[in-house]
Amino acid sequence: MRPDADGPEGGNGALRLHWSALSDVGRVRKDNQDSGYAGPWLLLVCDGVGGAARGDVASSTAVQVLRRLDEPSSEDLLERLAGALHRAHDRIAELAEEDQSLDGTSTTATVGLFDGQSLGLGHVGDSRAYLLRDGELSQLTHDHTFVQGLVDEGRITDDEARVHPHRNLILKALDGVRDPAPDLFTVALSPGDRLLFCSDGASGVLDDERLGAILGQGTPDFATVELVRASLEAGSTDNVTCVVADVVPASDAPVDADPLLVGAAADLPRTAGAPLGEATVKARTPRSSTALPDGASGAIATDPLDVEAVRYAPRAPHRFAWLRALLVVLTLAGVTWVVGVGAWWWTQHQFFVGEDDGVVTIYRGVDTTLPGGFELFHPYETTDVVVDGLSDYDAQLVQDGIAAADLEAARTTVDNLAAQQFGE
């Protein structure tokens, strides 16, 4: 359930955020199409969709537009969010118009804009925002997916939705084509609240109980790393991106904390090192993240993969790919052979009357010669009717070939010609 927008107030003084962010390619995808951002006034996760249409471009483009919201403002939270989401949507449309290879690209967007007391939320797609308050986890956003509609109708359960074959069918996204019509609402915050923004690489494999248990532990850095690790260990086949932020009194907020940009938008090469489960967060900046602006914080080492570029990129060929290719070739060859045999069988049941060395002859086959001189006919019966003994008209017909419905019809034609030449 979503906490009421008029819920607990933030105390006597202004509130601040203490944040962390991490994105990981995961164990199956070739590249990362997730992008995330965390700063003093803004938290967001975008999950690119598009495969060959480069979903990483959509997610990183959206983040680059939306991150401009990360500044204090007296303007209405929801108006700012709505405007920024539509600007990101328009920018993706411009890129697709400039480069046809990007046609079809899109991204989810779950954005939290903070004003010191409340959080404005803008949401499209199936990335999620959660609130942990007094040990109770609440999902703030509502998935815009086909399977969520089935859950809402009571046709399947949440557990069934996690393994449904169409669980990745998104009904809303920033795609530069359809109006994104984002969900927009506000949530009042209190000291001690913890926020989680994540892609479906995490929420798709970890249920609320597991998410709440991990989210309730340690610092934002610790919780972020543990959430990503737990998602991968739970079998996530997607990129995993998590942004965690604590709501604290202004007096308790860290000094000079830099914003974090992660995933495709960070464009930071990965370095060799310990796997995720063995990594230890020793600094404010988790591994696989970049501090902004200049003077980037070092990223903790991770697996030796390049930064991700395409969420649904082709996976490495499966074993025995050569065998599948061979079967395809053999199948095509078999079909070709069957068609060829069938065509030849048909030609051998066709007859016509023609000339062979000056004599009227019944031919079997089709009066056709293929390129290369291959004839689809051959002499079948030779007669004693001489072409020169026919009238000019009949002789020309024979030389051109007289079609016959079958062998009997061909013999009848020969008998008629013989009658004209030799008489009754």
**Cβ burial, residue 342 (10 Å; 0-12/13-18/19+):** exposed
Contact at 8 Å (CB) between 308 and 26? no
Question: Which residues touch 98 (CB under 8 Å, ≥6 apart)?
Answer: none
Tokens at residue 345, please? 């069988």
Q: What is the pLDDT of residue 62?
A: 96
Whether the pLDDT of residue 22 is over 80: the answer is yes
Tell me, what's the pLDDT at 345?
78
Distance of CA 289 to the CA centre of its chain: 24
Tell the residue number behind the tokens 């803004």, with chain if given: 42
pLDDT at residue 238, as a whole number = 92
Query: Distance between CA 70 and CA 389 in Å, rounded?
Result: 104
Question: What's residue 51's pLDDT?
Answer: 58
Q: pLDDT tens digits for 357-396?
A: 888 999 888 887 777 777 778 898 888 888 888 888 888 8
Q: In angstroms, rounded to a whole number, what is the distance separating the alpha carbons of residues 409 and 163?
A: 68
Please name each of the domains of the chain with its CATH number: 15-291 (3.60.40.10), 348-422 (no CATH)
Cross-strand bridge partners of residue 23: 241
Per-residue confidence (pLDDT) for residue 58, from 0 to 100: 93
Residue 50 pLDDT grade (very low, low, confident, very high; cuts 50, 70, 90): low
pLDDT value of residue 342: 75
Asked if residue 12 has pLDDT above 70, the reply is no
Task: Residue 309: name the closest of 62, 50, 73, 38 by CA.
Answer: 50
